[in-house]
Structure 1
Amino acid sequence: MNNKSIRKLCFAGLLVAVAVIGSLLVIPVFGAKCPPVQHMVNVTAAVLLGPGYALGMGFAAALIRNLLGLGTLLAFPGSMIGALLSGLAYRIFPKLSAAYAGEVFGTGVLGAIASYPVAALLMGNSTAALFTFVPSFLASTVVGAAVSVLVLSALKRTHVFSQLEGTLR
């Protein structure tokens, strides 16, 4: 394993820890626990580490949150799809706005729709409808993406972003 891989894994672990601790701050809407910090972490990971790491971190954070009783099974499709789409959007269009849009659409729409079968089949929520989770997931991801706009913009202004990008990419 080279130094760059070790740095990426350490940074990914740090971001997963931030996502898990940040899950204590939730927006409860219609039975979903929506943590905006997870979405901020998704965008940060997508931009600095790439779509594969972002997807893996979304899974790891969702798993740890569920094991600790801090989340629901809806965390898996919600965070993973948004993180992956954010990373792919940033890779195709290397602009922060593309990463934000990928996270918001991936989590707020696709992740919310993908949560329907999870809620209906695995969680026994027979009252859930196909678009039930879209409002709550959108609210959470918009807040998280807005926070990531502030964080990543500040990192860019202070040139820390380019240093991190050089170290991690």
Structure 2
Amino acid sequence: MSVKKLSLAGVFVAVGVTCSTFSIPIGVAKVFPVQHFINVLGGMLLGPFYAVGMAFVTSLLRNFLGTGSLLAFPGSMCGALLCGLCYRYTKKMGSAVLGEVIGTGIIGALIAYPVAALFLSSTVAFYGFIIPFSLSSVTGAVIAYALLLSLCKSGLLHKMQKDVTD
């Protein structure tokens, strides 16, 4: 376990919790992209298991603070895991972004249904979480992709990845 990785994970969790109420209006929806942004950064810089840990701790803290719901757990953790695994095996930013979107927007949304039915007494349709989860994850992943692309072009992304693994 690396002190550098733990420190960066702590910073990402702090940003995720602090900025969790930030939203962007898209049509009639309000999307909350910060967790998905953090998932992509964490998945690419720290790996899938740190990213899942960060998503879990962020969701837990947000629930304790009253700014999150139980639905944050399956969405963020599935997205973080798939994002990190896709990047680990392909080394492509686009794969990480796609992993976040599929992991949160589809897999996490489908897993959220039984959580909502059992613990929140929700009567939303089985596929009812896919559109809102997908909107948020696409928005956050695209923002992360734009930042990572600029870091890559400047050479800083490679340096950051190297610094974290040393």
Q: Which residue of 1 aligns with 2:43?
A: 46
Of 3, 6, 11, which aligns to 2:3? Answer: 6
Within 5 Å, give how 1:12-161 maps onto structure 2.
Answer: 12-26=9-23, 35-125=32-122, 127-161=123-157
Aligned residues of 1:33 and 1:72 also touching (Cα < 8 A): no
Aligned residues of 2:31 and 2:139 also touching (Cα < 8 A): no
Q: Distance in 2 between matches of 1:27 and 1:162?
A: 30
Q: Could you tell me which runs of 5 or more consecutive residues in structure 2 were left unpaired when the two chains were aligned.
A: none
Give me the CA root mean square deviation: 1.8
**By how many angstroms is 1:26 displaced?**
3.5
Percent identical residues: 48
- Spell out structure 1 runs of 4+ moving beyond 6 A: none
**By how many angstroms is 1:83 displaced?**
0.2
Tell me the amino acid that sits aligned with residue 22 of structure 2: L
Q: Distance in 1 between matches of 2:11 and 2:132?
A: 26
Aligned residues between the structures: 163
**By how many angstroms is 1:163 displaced?**
1.3
